[in-house]
Amino acid sequence: MITKTELLEIIAHGENSEIEFKRDVEENHQIAKELVAFSNFEGGMVLLGVDDDGTIAGLARDKLEEWVMTACRDKIRPAIIPAFQTIRDVEPGKDVAVIRVSRGANVHSQWHNNRNTYYIRVGSQSREPTPEELSRLFQRRGTFRAELRPILGTSIKNLDRRRLKDYFGRVRQQDVPEDDDAGRWQTLLVNTEIMVEEGVTLSGMLLFGNTPNRFLPQAGIDAVVFPGTEKDYAAKERLTLRGPMTPLMGMDGEILEAGLVEQAAAFVQRNISMTANLEGDVRRLERFTYPAEVVRETVVNALIHRDYLLANTDIELAIYQDRMEVISPGKLPNGITPEHMRAGTRAARNQLLKDVMRDYGYLEHMGMGVPRKIVQGMRKHNQTEPDLIEAGERFIVRLYAGG
User: 31-40, 156-165, 278-287, 294-303: which has the minimum mean pLDDT?
Assistant: 278-287
pLDDT of residue 126: 96
55-64 pLDDT, tens digit each? 999 999 999 9
What are the structural domain ranges in the chain? 4-141, 147-211, 221-400
Q: What confidence tier does 277 reach under pLDDT thresholds 50, 70, 90?
A: low
Question: Which of 113-117, 143-147, 317-321 shows the lowest mean pLDDT across its residues?
Answer: 143-147
Q: What is the C-alpha separation between 376 and 385, in angstroms, rounded?
A: 8
Looking at 3.90.480.20, 3.30.70.20, 3.30.565.60, 3.10.20.30, the CATH number of the domain 221-400 comes to 3.30.565.60
Strands 199-200 and 195-196: antiparallel
Q: How far is CA 227 from CA 125, 221, 288, 320, in A?
A: 65, 20, 17, 6
Q: Are 168 and 188 in contact (CB under 8 A)?
A: yes
pLDDT in tens, 120-154: 999 999 999 987 788 778 767 766 677 888 898 89
The CATH number corresponding to 4-141 among 1.10.3370.10, 2.60.40.420, 3.30.950.30, 2.40.30.10 equals 3.30.950.30
The pLDDT of residue 334 is 67
Pure H helices in 121-166: 131-141, 161-165
Lowest mean pLDDT among 142-146, 156-160, 303-307, 377-381: 142-146
pLDDT of residue 317: 98
Amino acid at 316: E
Whole-number Å distance between alpha carbons of 197 and 64: 39
pLDDT at 286: 63
Q: Pick 245 or 336 by higher pLDDT.
A: 245
**What is d(CA 169, CA 377) in angstroms, rounded to the nearest whole number?**
33
What pTM, to 2 d.p., does this model score?
0.65
Q: What does the pLDDT read at residue 204?
A: 97
CB atoms under 10 Å from CB of 383, counted, come to 10
Q: 376 with 343: CB under 8 angstroms?
A: no
